[in-house]
Amino acid sequence: MFRGNRYGGFVLSLQEKSEKDVCELLRVVFDRADWKKIARAHSKEDIFAHKIKAAGNQQSISTFLEKLCRTLGLQSVPLDPKLIQRLDADREAVLKAVRRETIYYMLLATEVRT
C-alpha cells in the first residue's frame, strides 16, 4: 500500500503534513546555526545534509533534534513541542525518510521563502 504522496511522478515516503513538519524543524535549525563559523571549507547545504543524515540514526525525533543541534553548536531552538510530538508519533517513517531522502528534505527546508 502506498504511504506517501506523489510529486512529479516520484513517490515520497511521508504524508504532506509530516513532510511540512520535518521541513519546519529543519528550517528552524538551519536558520539558527552560525554558518559563518561552521561553513568555511564546504557549503552550508553540504554540511547541513551531512549533519541531518548523521542524526537520522537516532531512536526518536527529540534525540534526532538533540544530536542535530549539538553537531551544529546549538544549545536550543525555538520549536513548538507539539511539532516534535506529531513527528514522533510516526518516528520510524520520519527518520527513515530523513536518512534516505536527506538532500530532498534539506533542499525543501533551506529553499528561499516567498
Angle 56-53-20 from CA coordinates, rounded to 5°: 70
More confident: 5 or 2? 5
Cell of 93: 517513517
pLDDT of residue 29: 97
Of the pLDDT bands very low, low, confident and very high (cuts 50, 70, 90), residue 12 is low
- Is residue 92 included in any domain, yes or no? yes
| Cα–Cα distance, 92 to 114 (Å, whole number) | 31
pLDDT of residue 81: 96
- Is residue 3 included in any domain, yes or no? no
Per-residue pLDDT of 59-109, as tens digits, reads 999 999 999 999 999 999 999 999 999 999 999 999 999 999 999 999 999
Number of domains in the chain: 1
- Is residue 25 included in any domain, yes or no? yes
Cell of 9: 511522478
Could you give the C-alpha distances from 11 to 29, 52, 89, 101, 105, in angstroms and in order?
26, 21, 21, 11, 14
**Which domain range does residue 61 map to?**
15-110
